[in-house]
Chains A and B, each alone.
Chain A
Amino acid sequence: MSTSKQTADAIIVGGGLHGCATALYLAMRGINCAVLEKDYVGRHASGVNAGGVRRLGRALPELPLADTALSIWRNIEDLVDDDCGFESLGQIKVAENDAELSALKNRAKTVQDIGFSHEEIIDQKQLRELLPAVASHCIGGLYVNGDGHANPYRTVTAFKRKAISMGVRIFEQTPVNEIVRHGTNWLVKSPSVKIEAPIIVNCAGAWGGSIAAQLGDYAPVEAQALMLMITARMPRFVKPVVGSQGRALSFKQFDNGTVMMGGAYQGRAEPEQNNTHLSFNGLAKNACAATAMFPIMRHATIVRSWAGIEGVMPDNIPVIGAGSANGVYHAFGFSAHGFALGPLVGKIITDLIDGGDIELPIDAFRIRRFSQNKDT
């Protein structure tokens, strides 16, 4: 195969949501960029995740980002000419007993103490108004009005299409073989194309660790297969996205009536083979949690289950920011909750590259936190 040689202002490795969003924002600033994707855009975690857009229960360092990201989601159609299936019907974490409710109260207070007021405690009556189908023993919950969900594959495809319309070159089926320094540029070699640019952005998700290593940085990202399952279409009975304080459960019904369930139950990831394997013992626990919370679900039929390959960091928060070498930026390892942040992270990375002000605190996400820990 002949290898064409091209140049760009910036190269993005990874055609997931973060990669495509970064490409779009860069293109909007007139920065010419190319995206290299080893499979097709949205093939892995970006396209097959649960689609949650939430602030509820976020790790505290992510809260300011999640809050700002939501304002992008509310106007997502202005950005990518597609509403991405975004629905803002709220998110609720349900408590089944007093201990769980008081844990939720503590969480609400912690969030308030750092200046956010979106998480509110609801009582049993309010809970049943929001979730008429919830099991009658549930006593209350933590509710965030304005959180919601979107359609993941549709979202990443919308970002891809818009980026291409702005002149971004997206190379699919184009794995990165090697990245080397070439003068002040980074030269990225793949079987079909060689591209060089002064700037390189690592948005390689579960594969981000090996890309980081080639760029001189260290990040211990682990590939995990988080399982999800979905039902046949059901009558619509729940609007908000539902979680549980006491059980591992994430639960949502799409407007087409299908119900998606997850809860961080692990399958087995084979990132080198692009493959995941399911564990039905794990899915069975997920089924228990769902039927306990929503008795209506007992007769629901599961038509499909799957697991996306997620890049998970040891501290469960992502890597966002500049790398140690010149022209290197990272945005990966979102630890199975990066979908909601994707559009904003594209903007943050663009601001960093473009020399703009970063108003949001991102120091917690620096890649150096792992090499510093390693040194000591």
Chain B
Amino acid sequence: MKDHYDIAIIGTGPAGMAAATVASAHGADVLIVDEQPEVGGQIYRGITRQSIKDRTILGDDYYKGQNLAGAFAASNVDHVSGATVWQVSPEREIGISKDGAAHLLTADQVIIATGAQERPFPIPGWTLPGVMTAGSAQILLKSSGITFSNAVFVGTGPLLYLIAYQYLKAGVPIRAILDTTPKSNRLKALPHLPGALSHLGSIMKGWKWIKALKSSGTLFIEGIDDLKITGKNSTEAIEYLVQNKWHRIETSNVFLHQGVVPNVNLAMASGCVYHWNEQKLCWHASTDEWGSSNVPGISIAGDGGGIGGAIAAEYQGRITAYQALYTTNKIKKQERDINVLPTRHALAHEMRIRPFLDAMFRPAVQFRIPTDDATMVCRCEEVTAGKIRASVSLGCAGPNQLKSFTRCGMGPCQGRFCSLSVSELIAEARNISVNELEQLRLRPPVKPLMLAELANLSTFASEDT
């Protein structure tokens, strides 16, 4: 690690790897940092190890990541793995922790490629041990070959069906799939279907997964109106409401999923402006066509700015890298434009399916804004929906005041698993749109930082001066 780089990239998912490969190929001095020991992000997690013997389990889309990872491995970048970035300041001072020591360095250009996280799924019992995200199921499968027999998969969205399908391919019995996709979504998605037809292959693939799951004899329930997970100290059962009737399935493992949303904390804490996207029901980075944010020198690529998927992320990574090369005088404007043009076309093509997917798998309101006041919204500080509604009636106007009222969002996850629910809940209670609310103010360190690490930084600083 040096004190200064031309370009620093946060995240080694598809966007980060693509950006780093392009940037270093044009002579930039590049740093790329990621929390994981290996590249790939979550989507291509474990891609350089390929531990699973049977390649048909994870499917071809996953192994596409090999090309990207291969090109990245051949490029000349400083790759700092297993390190946490806890701040990017508006002056592009980057705070990094690795092996128990903290460091500060700077870069002329910073590309934030922090990817996506799963949308919160606040239903009764979602904090019980044994309840995990569907993404967790995939991470455990990809990196350790661990699966859970007789688990229940719950929710909506391509990733949910994909993971269930991967379980099926791996021969792991699934207890049930509880599909929460609102039936009315189909009608609403229909107008977006023509635009998505250029991705007929992807749509057919999704259909194939669902068809295979249904014909496998796995219990597949649609039209779920309400859910609760029960158990004393651990998950014992999931109950679901269909056509005004409650049913119960006993299980120790529930995997929840209702889409992915941008992982915004680092960029927001840097001062990057995000706005509420009502179609996608999450925050979207207010960036220009180059991924540049309102903060000079900081750009956002990939799902961390707005969900487009792994292929789109790769394209965005390249585009932001070319712009970063241009602004750091590594390439001329003409070179930038010539290089970027085909990628832009490919990106536009890739994004054409999104409006259809957003409409088709828009999560139901009752699974985003809990109706039951006892439901936990802030997992860290154990703040319930009822407590939040009570605070609003006491005059709490937004998520920042809510912190002071209830400590909601003040735990170690720093709002990652509550802020979307909180924003929608307060907006609903106040009968305004989320865009009219003040956003949660995020401050570094965006990941908890051990005091001893921070104290070490002081030793470095005083040695320097």
Contacts and interface: CB of A to CB of B under 8 A. Distances in A.
B231 interface: no
A287 B454 contact: yes
B173 interface: no
A47 B404 contact: yes
Given A278-B444, A301-B448, A306-B443, A256 B455 contact: no
Interface residues of B, number: 33
B450 A301 contact: yes
Contacts of A288: 455, 458-459
B458 A305 contact: no
Nearest to A307: B443
Contacts of A283: 454
B74 interface: no
B90 A301 contact: no
B452 A277 contact: no
B192 interface: no
B458 A301 contact: no
Interface string A248-282: 00000000100000000000000000000110110
Q: Which of A232, A281, A299 has the most C-beta atoms of chain B within 10 angstroms of its own C-beta?
A: A281
A285 interface: yes
A370 interface: no
B404 A280 contact: no
Contacts of A300: 450-451
A302 B450 CA distance: 6
Given A232-B411, A280-B87, A280-B457, A302 B452 contact: no
A374 interface: no
B395 to A, nearest CB: 8
B104 A280 contact: yes
Interface string A36-55: 00001010000100000000
Contacts of A285: 458
A171 interface: no
A284 B457 contact: yes
A32 interface: no
Interface residues of A, number: 31
A281 to B, nearest CB: 5
Nearest to B454: A287
Interface in B70-122: 87, 89-90, 93, 95, 102, 104
A157 B400 CA distance: 14
Contacts of A301: 412, 448-451
A42 B87 CA distance: 26
Contact of B410 (A157, A278, A290, A304): A304
Nearest to A231: B451
Contacts of B414: 303-304
A108 to B, nearest CB: 31
Nearest to B455: A287
A189 interface: no
A256 B382 CA distance: 13
A298 interface: yes
Interface in B405-462: 405, 407, 410-412, 414, 443-445, 448-452, 454-459, 461
A153 B411 CA distance: 17
A354 to B, nearest CB: 29
Interface in A147-201: 153-154, 157, 161
B397 interface: yes
Contacts of A31: none
Contacts of A40: 397, 401
Given A284-B455, A287-B455, A305-B444, A277 B449 contact: no
A297 interface: yes
Interface in A7-41: 40
A210 interface: no
A39 B452 CA distance: 36
A284 B449 contact: no
Contacts of B87: 278, 280
A305 B404 contact: no
Interface in B296-340: none
A277 B448 contact: no
Contacts of B93: 280
B448 A281 contact: no
Contact of B451 (A42, A47, A277, A290): A290
A232 B444 contact: no
B451 A280 contact: no
A280 B444 contact: yes
Contacts of A145: none
Contacts of A277: 89-90
A294 to B, nearest CB: 9
A302 B411 contact: no
A291 interface: yes
Contacts of A280: 87, 93, 95, 102, 104, 444, 454, 457
Contacts of B449: 301-302
A134 to B, nearest CB: 16
A284 B410 contact: no
A256 B406 CA distance: 12
A288 B449 CA distance: 14
A194 B395 CA distance: 24
Contacts of B445: 302-305
Nearest to B401: A40
B451 A303 contact: no
B451 A302 contact: yes
Interface in A324-347: none
Given A281-B458, A285-B458, A303 B397 contact: no
Contacts of A153: 401, 404
Contacts of A42: 404
B407 A291 contact: no
A31 B451 CA distance: 50
Contact of B443 (A47, A278, A290, A298): A278
B89 A284 contact: no
B461 A298 contact: no
A37 to B, nearest CB: 12
A300 B90 CA distance: 27
B443 A281 contact: no
Contacts of B89: 277-278
Given A277-B90, A305-B445, A157 B452 contact: no
B410 A303 contact: yes
A277 B90 CA distance: 9
Contacts of A47: 404
Given A288-B458, A302-B445, A256 B452 contact: no
A246 B455 CA distance: 17
A291 B450 contact: no
A303 B104 contact: no
Contacts of B454: 280, 283-284, 287, 302
A287 B458 contact: yes
B450 A157 contact: no
A297 B450 CA distance: 9
Interface string A300-329: 111111100000000000000000000000
13 contacts: A153-B401, A161-B395, A278-B443, A283-B454, A285-B458, A287-B455, A297-B451, A300-B450, A302-B454, A304-B410, A305-B443, A305-B445, A306-B443
Interface of B: 87, 89-90, 93, 95, 102, 104, 394-395, 397, 401, 404-405, 407, 410-412, 414, 443-445, 448-452, 454-459, 461
Interface of A: 40, 42, 47, 153-154, 157, 161, 231-232, 256, 277-278, 280-281, 283-285, 287-288, 290-291, 297-306
Top 5 nearest A-B pairs by Cβ distance?
A284-B458, A153-B404, A301-B448, A287-B454, A284-B457
